[in-house]
Structure 1
Amino acid sequence: MKIRRKKKTIMGWIYSFIIFILIIFFLRGIVLFGLKKINMILLPVQSKIYTTSVGVRETFEILTKYKEIFKENIELKKKLALVEYQDELLKNFAEENERLRKLLKIKEETRYKTLVAKISFQNIQELYTTFSIKLGEQDGVKVNMPILIEKTLIGKIVETSAHYSKVRMITANDSYVSCLAENKILGILSGNTGESLYFKPTSTLESDLKIGEEIYTSGISDVYPKGLYVGKIKNIISENNGLEKIYEIENNLNIYNLNEVIVITGE
């Protein structure tokens, strides 16, 4: 009897274990099926989360690369600007060197005592009237000293201070200079606040000049010595029914690019 009971008990445990295993497998299938369903339901959400995370990562990488490219672009611009500045500086040095060579040659050829002065100020509203130079009383500059640009008369000193002077140009509206044409015809040169000057002979009987003839200072003035080049005849203007002639004079000066001038300080 005891043996039979023992067998029954063992068989009961075996059956119970088998049933337990079957239940586990059954439940596992249900759980897996449920998880599959849940995954299918959550797939759109997971997809959006994944896409968003990828987009964020790509955006971050783009921003990082943009910063690097932007920084590199700034550095390249700086280098380019530096090269352009150096090129412009070399060009300016070359131009200044050429101008100074010309001025030195003029100083050696002229019979006058001269000083070379830098333009210190030029008012855009007074381009053909006045400008200032960086030389003054302490440099020996005085009122009425003539001013040349290369070999061409441009004006005279009208005001001085210790280190600066003001120049009144012969192109100013109220400027008058006694001049001679090449054929010794005497006349008055006047300005008109513009590029051109106007030469009017003192005698209508001698006003027979031709285009291209050069005009020089006469030396009659106490300010300008004789023989300073002023310009050449560009055009002939007739007045009073052709009885009177006025000659338009050009001096080929670039008023927008004044850099250095020559001050005549004496013989």
Structure 2
Amino acid sequence: MPQFFLNKRLIILLISIILLVALIGYSIRERGHLSKPEQFLKDVVGFGQTIISVPANSVRDFFGSISDIQHTYTENKKLKARIDQLSQLSSEVSILKDDNDKLRKILDKKDDLSAYTTIQATVIARNPDQWYEHIIINKGKTSGIKENMAVITSEGFVGKVKSVSALYSTVELLSAVNPKNRISAALIGDQKKAIYGTIEGYDQSEKVLLLKGIPYDLKIKKGVSVFTSGLADIFPKGLPIGTVEKLVPDENGLTQTAYVKPAADFYDIEHVMVVKSSVDKGMTDINGGGQ
């Protein structure tokens, strides 16, 4: 009896294996249509994949967007740093170009002053409270600088050396408020003759130098050049000071004052030349006297 049941189970197992193999063979063969069970199973699996893939893709897209934003932020940060560097570089190039142009003008001016000994210097300090009074340059006694030497830019005469140390000098500008700061000047009048006067002061409101002592009966056209006269043997002759803007009668009625537009820009001074005659006759104190 037990042997019968054992054989029966064996027969059922073999039949099941044969059916399974038949089903597998039937399912894997090529055919144009799926069976109903296969279609159902495929639909169930596809629906499950859809349910899983939608949030999975959303999560993937979300973190992908965060990654893109981070990448964009990093790139923008790099680009901004690059733009800042280019802006700074452009500013430095502009400053160097302006500095180079001023130095070239100084060198060109030096050729025009071949009759004089010139010492090139750079402005290193300027007091904001006395902007139109003094400048400090990087040359002193060791470079041959002495008091009362004339100081010019590429445009024209700006002042005189007031004090000197071994390595530095202080320059008093023509625009300084100092009644003792007088410069002997000359210009050519309508009669083609030299007219002399003295630069005495600076009008801050008009931004002009005051050329005083011109005879009342002389006529001077606007735009006539004013230059150092060289009469006192302190400043070289012919250094440009400026051009006449207008004439104003003095209170006494005997003389006139010419408003002279400075040839040099007293506000923007970076490079200068200290000038003395080729034959140094000695520097005398100009306080109270003309040059």
| TM-score, normalised via structure 2 length | 0.64
Contact 1:173 1:190 in 2 (8 A): no
In structure 2, what is the equivalent of residue 163 of structure 1? 167
| Greater percentage in helix | 1
1-side partners of 2:203 and 2:142: how far apart?
Answer: 31
Asked if structure 1 preserves the Cα contact closer than 8 Å seen for 2:236 and 2:277, the reply is no
Q: Distance in 1 between matches of 2:151 and 2:65?
A: 65
User: What is the rounded CA distance, in whole Å, between the counterparts of 1:58 and 1:223 in structure 2?
Assistant: 85
| Structure 1 residues 130 and 72: alpha-carbon distance in aligned structure 2, compared to 1, 3 A threshold | same
Equivalent residue letter for 1:100: L
What are the ranges of 5 or more consecutive residues in structure 1 without an aligned counterpart?
Answer: 1-55
Taking the aligned partners of 1:219 and 1:127, their CA distance within structure 2 comes to 27
Residue 237 of structure 1 pairs with residue 248 of structure 2: yes
Q: Which of residues 119, 122, 126 is equivalent to 1:122?
A: 126
Which residue is 1:263 aligned to?
274
- Give CA-to-partner distance per residue, 1:56-108, whole Å, 9 cap, x none: 99998877665544433332121111112222222223222222222222212
Matches within 5 A, 1:242-253: 244-253=255-264
For the pair 1:103 / 2:106, whether they are aligned, the reply is yes
Indicate the SS of the match to 2:99. Answer: helix
Q: Which runs of 4+ in 1 moved over 3 A?
A: 56-71, 239-244
CA distance 1:265–1:241, shift in 2 (3 Å) = closer
Structure 1 equivalent of residue 209 of structure 2:
197
Q: TM-score, normalised by structure 1?
A: 0.70
Aligned counterpart in structure 2 of residue 185 of structure 1, from 195, 212, 229: 195
Q: Cα offset for 1:264? A: 0.8
* Secondary structure in structure 1 of the residue aligned to 2:120: strand
Paired positions, count: 214
Q: What SS does the corresponding residue of 1:185 show, helix, strand or coil?
A: strand
Structure 2: tracts of 5 or more residues without a match: 1-58, 279-291
CA separation in 1, counterparts of 2:128 and 2:64? Answer: 54
Contact 1:215 1:231 in 2 (8 A): yes
1:161–1:241 CA distance, 2 compared to 1 (3 A): closer
CA distance in 2, matches of 1:106, 1:192: 25
C-alpha distance in structure 2 between counterparts of 1:260 and 1:120, whole Å: 9
Q: CA RMSD in A?
A: 2.8
SS of residue matched to 1:173? coil
What secondary structure sits across from 1:192 in the alignment?
A: strand
- Other-structure match for 2:90: 87
Output the CA distance in 2 between the equivalents of 1:80 and 1:70. 15
Shift of 1:231: 0.7
